Amino acid sequence: MKITNDLASLYEIEYDQWLEQTIKVLKQNQWEKLDKDHLIEELEELSRREKKTLERFLEQIIRHLLLLQYWHTEYDYNANHWQAEILSFRTQLNEDLSKNLHNHLQENQTIIYEKALKYVRQKTGYNTSFPEKCPYTLEQLLDINWLPENN
């Protein structure tokens, strides 16, 4: 049995060993020994997970900005908490942000905003006080120091 088949079999029974062996094969430039199908599958999944993680961070930032800016009855009690959450999510998002992922967030900002808006409307019980379209640019959302004026 060739190592390619061995790697493919290993993938099914012992993922960590498959990963170690795949890294070894890559480092040794032994391209013919690669389990290409599973490697491609893993890279695609890694890309999806990375994008989804950053989308979730951006959604959390938007949620907390909307609450901070528009939920007046809770502002005095929760403003510091919301600002701390915004800072935390921005820090985490910016640590992993590449140009490619920045572009992905830019392209999907409308969808991410819609998810955040749905959550915030449910949480607050308000249906009309929030903007239908995202009032924040991506640069504002990512800026560690930026906060909107309280409406």
Q: What is the DSSP string of 116-143?
A: HHHHHHHHH--SSSS-SS--S-HHHHH-
pLDDT above 70 (res 8): yes
Q: Whats the size of the chain, residue-wise?
A: 151
What sign for the dihedral angle of Cα 136, 138, 140, 143? positive
Residue 65 lies in a domain: yes
Query: Could you tell me if residue 149 is left (phi over 0), alpha (psi between -120 and 50 degrees) or otherwise beta?
Result: beta
Whole-number pLDDT of residue 1:
40
Residue 136 lies in a domain: yes
Number of domains in the chain: 1
Residue 77 lies in a domain: yes
pLDDT above 60 (res 2): no
Whole-number pLDDT of residue 5:
61
Share of the chain above pLDDT 70, in %: 96
Residue 34 lies in a domain: no
The pLDDT tens digits of the residues spanning 111-146 come to: 999 999 999 999 999 877 899 999 999 999 999 999
Contact 102, 38 (CB under 8 A): no
Residue 24 lies in a domain: no
Residue 5 lies in a domain: no
145-150, long-range: CB < 8 A, 24+ apart: 147/65, 147/68, 147/83, 147/86, 148/65, 148/68, 148/69, 149/69, 150/68, 150/69, 150/72, 150/75
Residue 19 lies in a domain: no
- Once rounded to an integer, what is the mean pLDDT over residues 73-78? 94
Q: Is the pTM of this model over 0.75?
A: yes
Residue 104 lies in a domain: yes
Domain containing 64: what range? 50-142
